[in-house]
A and B are shown apart, each in its own frame.
Chain A
């Protein structure tokens, strides 16, 4: 157990639907990062939050949004889902925002049918 908890582990949904992925960071970590891993795109950075505020943004689609709550857990919302959104979504956390000491969760596997 890495200390970063992601739920659910698996999710199967239909095109056009909306889902929410949840991440609880390791105790004491203020930064949360979201990544998408698909077969043809590798591990792509989506977005980072630090202590509730958006810190950095990658190639995140407009249909996707995220937030970090006061208790530091984070949610990634994916809407108007398309088949191409099927992927593993990882959350990572770290103490600060400098990239050191990343700890990854075990991921949420999203399948859009």
Chain B
């Protein structure tokens, strides 16, 4: 079965710093989703990537799907406390359900 691995598992950064979260699949990704979850709350859709090399941005968050479509990175520029939360990558499996990586917990220190 397809698995998604996220790294790092957790991250603490100083406000204003840039950071990158990675999501790696054991197989080719045909659609990669990024969600953000505030601690103890629901998931908020950030963006979806489908094509190799595709890059999308949402405010100060940029995500890219590599050419081979087995890895995606999420980059936050000039982090703010509002960026804190859990970032999850997900992909649709062969049964058309969304499965998720284990998540990256981000804490931004003011």
Contacts and interface: CB of A to CB of B under 8 A. Distances in A.
A103 interface: yes
Interface in A71-96: 88, 90, 92
11 contacts: A33-B98, A42-B101, A45-B98, A56-B95, A90-B42, A90-B43, A99-B97, A100-B92, A104-B43, A104-B44, A107-B42
B102 to A, nearest CB: 4
Contacts of A42: 100-103
Nearest to A88: B40
A68 interface: no
Contacts of A43: 43, 88, 100, 103
Interface residues of B, number: 21
B13 interface: no
Interface of B: 31, 33, 35, 40-45, 48, 88, 92, 95-103
A102 interface: yes
Given A33-B97, A105-B42, A107-B42, 10 more contacts: A2-B42, A33-B98, A42-B103, A43-B88, A45-B98, A55-B95, A99-B96, A100-B48, A106-B42, A107-B40
